[in-house]
Structure 1
Amino acid sequence: MKNYFQASPENPYHISIGAVIFNEDKTKILCHFIEKYKEYENLYLLMRETMQPNETIENTLKRGTLEEFGAIVEIDRFLGSIVAKDDWFGETGKKVEVEKTTLYFECFLVNQEDSNRVDDGTIESKSELVWLAPNVLIERMETFFQRYRINNLNEVGIIKRILQ
């Protein structure tokens, strides 16, 4: 079945669900750390999962946290969204401007085991999982964004909303 939520050269729009996962005392956030990918270095990402047809937002979030982080979470609240436009080359190698909308939710960790992660060949499945204080994560994400200017990877605004 075609995934109409996944961007393609014919349909340059994409929907993902994101999670900000806190530890028990809400002092640290679980994120991906990717030291090197193509020309990019020191990338920090929250969990973001592409929706599948006929899948609820909640199911996408829970599937994504389990696949990417090996985590079971409970959703606390909706945090808003990021809509970003970036160039995407995809499998065709042809440049297409994609509009990506990611809906973010604050979550609390119930359980996490690395052995539950799914290796689907994506960079996220090969990432190192790290817990960082929100202000440290913001600083590192801002440094990455200043260097590479990839709009859909700039999740600083979502994290700042939680701190307000």
Structure 2
Amino acid sequence: MSSVPDDASALLGEVSVAIILTPVANAEALAATCAIAKIKLDAVPSRVGAFGVCKATDADAPALAAGSVSRLLRGVPIVLLQRREGQISASRWLDGEQGDDLAPGLVLSDAPEVLEDLLIGATTVGEVEGVVSSVGMSRLKAMKVLATAARANRKA
């Protein structure tokens, strides 16, 4: 007798790409935030804010990363996009909790081209200019980056 998984997403197969959309202004600040929280991702700059390409896509890793990022950015919604066996899904996250599923087409309708290219696998994160990884960033450097970003926001 076969068992039915508790989470229906397990029936869809492995996640090949997971991207977290944020309103964080720059990639370095997003990478620093994630370094402090020990979230492994590559932060990509874009005209609409930085987004993170998750380094771990196995099991629940993208959902755990989205939950952690949304807790860190308290009060600010983020979106988790995932490509799994050719299907794209999108979900809204707020304060560590997964909210509604979103129509991926609507989420991507005004998205920067680089986001779509990464999501569908037309390009790799290594080919994108200005990417900052949270991996290897020391806690001290992350704190300095965030302090600089906070000062810049106060001046603006």
Q: Higher helix proportion, which one?
A: 2
State the TM-score, normalized to the length of structure 1. Answer: 0.33
Query: Which of the two has greater strand per residue?
Result: 1
TM-score by length of 2: 0.34
